[in-house]
Amino acid sequence: MEISPEDSLRLNVMLANKPQAIRIDESRMIVYALSEKGEMEIPLNPTCRDEHYIKQIREMLSMHVLGSPSGYPQHIWSRMGHLSNENLEDLLLLGEPEAAVAVAYSSELTDELARKVWWALEDAENARQMLRLPQIVKGEMGPKLAAFLVEFLPFETEAEKIMDTMQLVLQPGLLDVALIQDLWKRGKRKNAFYVGFLASLPDDLPGAAGQQQPQPDLSEQLQVMAGEGNRLAGLLYRVFSASGQIWLATLRQVLEKPGNQDVVNWSLEVAAKYFSAARPEGLVDATLEELADEARRWVDDPGNALVQQILDLDPQLAQKLRALRVLSGSGYGVVRPVFGKTDAIGTLMRRKLQPVMQPYLGYVALLQG
């Protein structure tokens, strides 16, 4: 069956008015169009089964926009970054959810395009993807997408999505202080929230204000050394600061009672980034024992000028330097001896992790207080 004459006329008039985006409500059989003047809707009058009629509508839209009744291959190309902004605009006129997703994944996305994508398909995954782009975070859509994701958080059940969401919405300028404080409090019930804070606000965690900085004289000397180019002194100064102590306490809290393997793996990746100044050569894949052995050699190496400069200041800092080096090697290699043999979660996972996690947290404790 063909598209009804009435629908064909209305759709052609709609297209002639150059809409900015089109979406189709399949349950209500309504086509919506976004224009500069606002939103218009066209109730459909099917001449056959609804799903077949919707297919014909989309073929008509695709023929008008792309010159082909099948626009789907274009979506694939757009995800691979082969479409220009003009092509991306066209995809939003297909009435295809997958097309809107394809635009959201484009590195060429602009704030204006993001607004149209969001009108076409409000979806948590779309919001997360768009917030990975600096131009969207800094634009008008950034705070709107972040607000949606925060409201959607109670419905997220997977720790990985919670951590990803938190890491994205905590980017500068997206949330106000009161909301950030509220999200921090939620971490007491679900520590996956804390992982996002550790990643995105390492030096500005809630609760750091008013904390006493240990060894103030030593910290001042480390700060001077850091200013002269000693990155390890800078890292020690960061760790000794009030925010650093809160960061360590939070990491320890998360790893003492992680809910599943994703929380552990994400936390270790975040730790590696935090301590990366102690490992400028980059990430490693090593067990805790291997990291500990290498850290001892690293500190004892008389040719390691940055380490020796700090030891000249205070030889008792050797243990803390070893801890920095070990923690900078955090990653899946640390837990592979356990996770490589089990997919356990919860209490059973934590029990199996104890032989690895207890000594790991011992290195964290060396840097506390």
Residues 336 and 244 in one domain: yes
The 10s digit of each residue's pLDDT in 183-197 is 999 999 999 999 999
Mean pLDDT of 34-43: 94
The 10s digit of each residue's pLDDT in 333-362 is 999 999 999 999 999 999 999 999 999 999
Contact call for residues 47 and 3 (beta carbons, < 8 A):
yes
The 10s digit of each residue's pLDDT in 205-249 is 997 654 545 556 688 899 999 999 999 999 999 999 999 999 999
Mean pLDDT of 39-55: 95
Residues 116 and 162 in one domain: no
Residue keyed to tokens 């990653």:
331
Within a domain: residue 207?
no
Q: Of 32-46, 62-76, 120-134, 152-166, give the lowest mean pLDDT range.
A: 62-76
The 10s digit of each residue's pLDDT in 92-102 is 999 999 999 99
Within a domain: residue 26?
yes
* Residue 63 lies in domain: 5-121
Q: What is the per-residue burial (b if ≥16 Cβ within 10 Å, else e) of 68-97?
A: eeebeebbeebeeeebeeebbbbbbbbbbe
Residues 98 and 182 in one domain: no
Within a domain: residue 70?
yes
* Residue-averaged pLDDT of the chain: 92
pLDDT at 266 over 80: yes
Within a domain: residue 319?
yes
Residues 116 and 147 in one domain: no
pLDDT category of residue 73 using cuts at 50, 70 and 90: low
Q: Residue 290: enclosing H or E segment and its boundaries?
A: helix 288-300
Long-range contacts (CB closer than 8 Å, 24 or more residues apart) made by 236-242: 236/310, 236/317, 236/320, 236/321, 236/324, 238/203, 239/320, 239/324, 239/367, 240/213, 240/214, 240/215, 241/203, 241/213, 242/208, 242/209, 242/210, 242/211, 242/212, 242/213
pLDDT of 211: 53
pLDDT at 300 over 50: yes
pLDDT at 34 over 60: yes
Residues 182 and 224 in one domain: no
Among residues 200, 225, 248, the one where a domain terminates is: 200
Among residues 121, 154, 183, the one where a domain terminates is: 121
Q: What is the DSSP letter of 56?
A: H
Residues 21 and 50 in one domain: yes
Q: Which residues touch 134 (CB under 8 Å, ≥6 apart)?
A: none
Within a domain: residue 276?
yes
Residues 194 and 280 in one domain: no
Within a domain: residue 208?
no
Higher pLDDT: 208 or 18? It is 18
Residues 331 and 222 in one domain: yes
Q: What is the spatial distance between Cα 293 and Cα 270, in angstroms, rounded to a whole number?
A: 22
pLDDT of 86: 60
Q: Of 100-109, 274-283, 330-339, give the lowest mean pLDDT range.
A: 100-109
Residues 30 and 96 in one domain: yes
Among residues 89, 121, 153, the one where a domain terminates is: 121
pLDDT category of residue 321 using cuts at 50, 70 and 90: very high
Cα angle, residue 301 at apex, residues 295 and 304 outer, rounded to 5°: 95
Residues 195 and 222 in one domain: no
pLDDT category of residue 68 using cuts at 50, 70 and 90: confident
pLDDT of 369: 77
Q: Which residues pair with 35 in a beta bridge?
A: 38
Contact call for residues 331 and 274 (beta carbons, < 8 A):
no
| Number of structural domains in the chain | 3
Burial class (CB in 10 A: 0-12, 13-18, 19+), 195: buried
pLDDT of 76: 52
Contact call for residues 309 and 230 (beta carbons, < 8 A):
yes
- Alpha-carbon Rg for the chain, nearest whole angstrom, is 27
Q: Which residues touch 245 (CB under 8 Å, ≥6 apart)?
A: 208, 211, 213, 214, 239, 368, 369
One-character DSSP codes across 186-244: HTTT-THHHHHHHHH-TTS-TT-TTPPPSSHHHHHHHHHHHHTT-HHHHHHHHHHSHHH
The 10s digit of each residue's pLDDT in 128-154 is 999 999 999 999 999 999 999 999 999
Residues 20 and 45 in one domain: yes
Residues 38 and 106 in one domain: yes
pLDDT of 161: 97
pLDDT category of residue 78 using cuts at 50, 70 and 90: very low
pLDDT at 323 over 90: yes
Count CA within 13 A, CB hemisphere, residue 324: 26
pLDDT category of residue 70 using cuts at 50, 70 and 90: low
Long-range contacts (CB closer than 8 Å, 24 or more residues apart) made by 134-139: 135/109, 135/110, 135/111, 136/109, 136/111, 137/171, 137/172, 137/173, 137/174, 138/173, 139/110, 139/111, 139/114
The pair of structure tokens assigned to 101 is: 């997703």
pLDDT of 138: 97
Phi, psi of 199 (to 5 degrees): -80, -45
pLDDT of 207: 73
Within a domain: residue 206?
no
Within a domain: residue 131?
no
Contact call for residues 41 and 19 (beta carbons, < 8 A):
no
